[in-house]
Amino acid sequence: MDYKSEMAQLRRTLNEAGYRYYVLDDPTMSDYEYDHMLRRLEELEAEHPEEIVPDSPTQRVGGQALESFQQVVHAVPLESLQDVFSPEEVEEFCSRMAENLEKTAYSVEPKVDGLSVALEYRDGVFLQGATRGDGRVGEDVTENIRTIRSIPMTLPEKLPRLIVRGEVFMPKTVFHRLNRQREERGESLFANPRNAAAGSLRQLDPKICAKRSLDIRVFNLQLAEGRTFTSHSETIAYLASQGFPVIPQKTLSTAEEINEEIRNLNEEREDLPFDMDGAVVKLDSLSDRSVVGSTAKCPRWAIAYKYPPERKPSRVLRIEVQVGRTGVLTPKVVVEPVRLAGTTVTTASLHNQDYIEEKDIRIGDTVIVQKAGEIIPEVVEVLLSKRPPDAVPYRMPTVCPVCGAPVVRDEDGAFLRCTGAECPAQLHRNLTHFASRDAMDIEGVGPAVMNQLIEREMVRTPADLYFLTKDQLASLDRMGEKSAENALRAIDESRGRGLERLLYALGIRQVGQKAGKTLAAHFRTFDAFAAASEEELTAIDDVGAVTAGYIRAWLESPQSQHLIGRLREAGVSMEAVEAPAGDQFKGMTFVLTGALTRFTREEATALIEARGGKASGSVSKKTTYVVAGENAGSKLRKAGELGIPVLTEEEFAAMLGGISGETKTEAEKQLEGKPAEDPSVEEPEQISLL
């Protein structure tokens, strides 16, 4: 079989498997088979990039980050619906329809609580995706839409032009996973799946959107050139035949039947993969819709029934504090079991100390509980009339409930965080960060190995990695003697990474890679760094008062001092390994924009910093040069407005004086052969069909 035929066959098989999994919820192959075939297709496309087509499953992971979204004028307006809140209002709606029509039929369907979008196809190929916006003008989110795997990229019937409307949402399972991850990182939680979906779809970097695993349900045919239909139910059946995941709907005749279906949907909402905030009732006949017409704001032929949030009283039994992997202390309230929106609730989020004080929640109080966005249980209010006389205000602990180290407030004041360098609650995060590529770069000792080391109590701090034996490592699942030898070799090699990487690996608050470089270049030894006062630290470029305070607090912690002592005992280098960087770009600030082809952004930044310069993310009057790649956007325009010199990649390379193997610094050589990585960007997860 030639490569073209093989690529076509792989695309057909993978797209069919994706459709069966993401749309029909009927997987036909294992994760392993899917990933193996996808990897083969990626290899072939790398060898023959001219054969890459829009519907290839490899094109769904997200492309180059955008600098802004372009506006899109909708060919057919995306109208909003009139809300109703009672069965009586549903009856009134049906009566109004009957006044102008001889016989009426209605489509009733769940109202997905997400973000409305329009998808446009030309000759059966996906062309563009846009948000609703104000109904007439939206934002072009095409690259992010491509990452939603349930959306077909090509259609069986090649109509000249097809536009459909759907609701993008974050599945409940993904929402819960994302919030757990955000909690572990000390980030604010999404209040509900809609907020999460909206924020994800409007990410400028499609790779972030791809990781969020968004989904869609198509609920309306906006435009179909070359096709005619008589009813809404007919259009939904047609869209399903074209591979779209469509909203489930029923066709009913009377107000009584409609209200019963609305009640049924409310009872079944917990079983749906998406969050719903109501039910939509609309005329099924397309000709009837034309007769009834629309107002300036919304169609007269449809309504949205909104369910009121279910609220119930319960009593606060206790308040518990959990410590996440990043050390953030998160309180939750334990209440007497109460049934809400189809599930039994026993706990509710309290977010932070400010939230507790604002609501004045005390142990023993009777509180009103509801599910925020029908998902997250939360305390709405306290019934002060039922407060016990001995109830006292609750205060968050001043020390970590896990390790006893002091806790501090984040710089924004929202969260409390444990300062313990050896806190057991943070051990997994600390270990994986310590061993990561940009820190101590211990290859072969990843998160799965760390889990086993922790479970078997072989390590309690990052320093314990250096005291592991071959027998201990070989005893781990899927390790083996050869893998154990390789891991030990990687651990041993990491001893000499130097002060710059060590400072980053220690996980000191606000000491990232850049600060680690700066501090190592300035102090040269850990002892000199540890002896520096806050005043001496703040005198260094890019080290502010807050960061200096975090550094001193970390250094003075008994847990930190114990960790450093163990690292010294293990023979870990505490000195800078390179001579200070050159000063060719000293005092200069560069801004990189557009798609660079000769350098990755990581490489270009390293080259600038190795020569004493600074790489910034925004253009200002202090910018010295802007380096512009392909498709440069707003930063290039701003540079023109401010009169900032703009360099092409070739001019930038010439300014560097040529980059050859003989002239590269040690830091530049370390970048060779490594993929670009921006720690602020979430990478897409491996594709999973299970």
Distance CA 134, CA 78 (A): 8
The CB-side HSE value for 466 (13 A sphere, CA atoms) comes to 21
From 4, 103, 111, 614, active-site residue: 111
Task: Report the DSSP pairing between strands 115-122 and 161-169.
Answer: antiparallel
Distance CA 565, CA 5 (A): 61
The values of phi and psi at residue 442, to 5°, are: -95, 95
Place of tokens 């010199």: 645
Helices (H) and strands (E) in the chain, counts: 25, 22
What is the maximum alpha-carbon separation in the chain? 89
Residue 164: which of 216, 114, 211, 200 has the closest Cα? Answer: 216
Q: How many CB atoms lie within 10 A of CB 189?
A: 18
Q: Exposure of 690 by Cβ count < 10 A (0-12 exposed, 13-18 middle, 19+ buried)?
A: exposed
111 is catalytic: yes
The values of phi and psi at residue 451, to 5°, are: -55, -45
> Contacts from 667-674 at CB under 8 Å and sequence distance 24+?
667/578, 667/581, 667/606, 667/610, 668/603, 668/606, 668/607, 668/610, 671/602, 671/603, 671/606, 674/437
- Collect all residues with Cβ–Cβ distance below 8 Å to 215 and sequence separation of at least 6: 22, 148, 150, 168, 169, 170, 171, 245, 273, 274
- Under 8 Å between Cβ of 220 and 78: no
Place of tokens 């030990």: 488
Residue 162: which of 203, 112, 103, 119 has the closest Cα? Answer: 119
Distances (CA, A) of 343 to 272, 274, 319, 435: 13, 16, 21, 41
The catalytic residues are: 111
